[in-house]
Structure 1
Amino acid sequence: MSILILIWGLGYPVMKFGMQFSPPLIYTGLRTIISGMFLMALAFYSGEPLNLRDTWKALLISTVFNVLLFFGASAFAVQLLPSGIASILLYAQPIMVGLLAHFLLHELLTLRKITGLLFGFLGVAIISYKGLTGDLSLQGVIMGLLSALGWTFGTLLVKRHNPRSIYWFIAIPFIGGGVLLFCMGLAVGEQPTAIVWNLPFISALLWGAIIGLGASWVIWFHLVRTVEASTLSANTFLVPVVSVIGGALFLGEKVPPSLYLGGALVVLGIYQVNRPTSKTSTGVMGNQ
């Protein structure tokens, strides 16, 4: 989990750097396609069976939620909204997972867990407050919420279906969804000729594809299969903290004072969610 948080936390500064040389949807599509091809090569190397006949429905749903909604909607949200609002909407995901996992996965939703999720969300809001200025776009808000919903249902889908081959389960949606994202970029007027094919862009693209997406999503889905979805999602509240630090180290961005208070609330929230439940505690929805 620590490795995953570090990769995702550094992913935003790397993505922001890479988008200096490419239109956003085309960049997102290329990165996703390359990641899918890398994972497909690993699937062939490991000898894992595709079993498309039994998994095509789950693969289709994963393409819609994990790629098109999550990646595509978040790219639009970042364009249409101040960065702080976009972050806050995206990190409503752990709260959505915590609520829906109770009904769909029968994970107990305790008062302690709800409190921890709210602490974590408040911490992200405080860290992101610098980006809260500016006019709000209704389309941007909708895209931000769709992105969080896509990530939520994509996570719950993997937890519920427990696919045999993680490589194939990620690779096929990434390739299919990446092609669609690339085409969406063309449809809204983005041009491949606008890409600056220099060493910094290629390095950012490959790092984002192989490490930022490929390796991190394999880790994420392995964790989803073995850890409570609500508990796991709560730990992602640390990603914005690492992103702010990464932006300061690699992009020269200033560390806002809000990081200290917001980071403390995030840590407190994660502790609350992960703290072992006492035998006498009672669930808010359902019994122990």
Structure 2
Amino acid sequence: MKKFIIGGVPEHFNLPWYLTLSNKEYHEEDINLRWNDFYGGTGQMCKALRNGDIDMAVILTEGIIRDIIQGNQSKIVQVFVKSPLVWGIHVAKNSNYNSVSDLKGTKAAISRFGSGSHLMAYVNAENEGWDTEKDLDFEVIKNLQGALEGLPKGIGDYFMWEKFTTKPFVDNGPFNRVGECPTPWPCFVIAVRNEVLDNDGEAIENILKIINETTLDFKNIPSIDRMIANRYDQQLEDVQEWLSITEWSQENLTKQQVEKVQDKLLQLDLIEEKIDISKILV
């Protein structure tokens, strides 16, 4: 049985993986697939791919494209979630910030440099018409837990994270949400190390086939909204809203989508050059 390790954030988007793993569906293809949670998000997963600690990752599109351009020896094999990710812009409940415009020139708390929270701070700054040289500053807080503890103490001024994941902490905890910032492209892709693609391409195809069969019918699973609400400590109405705006995919990024991400990264000075799409997509 071939063993593969896949990484991803422990969030509701990835429930289809949990379902297929708990049903041991990969065993039927002689594949032992193991899931690793990455609370630190995209930057942490990029490092794990580079180090060979994981073979695959369900990862933010802009983050992995940037890291591939910067030398990560992996490729994107498929889009996993094709709808945009809606990033909530959060401040501490005890802060004096009441709007996104109040945050100009303050410190964005980020999980790490190169993470989604880092890259999307640039996208948000551009949306707001800020000067990304003068109006952006950063405080590394490692993960969501770091932001929950840090923002109320003044460690960082605002924090961008997926809106529905953070909703319980807006309803009952230390955050206020002052705005939102959707990604201008499909949010999650599946990336695989090149070495694994070269040696075990057929097994990767079988893994994709299994997960795609589940995501195709995911929204029709009986009481899936209640399962998500219970598993991820969400309000049922929030889960239903999230399901209504979220679409999974069984295809890869288009050439135009990759160009759009590269153009944006280059415009924001987050990469020094664009690379050929054949180095990014399978």
* Structure number having the greater helix percentage: 1
TM-score, normalized by length of structure 1? 0.31
| Structure in which a larger fraction of residues adopt strand | 2
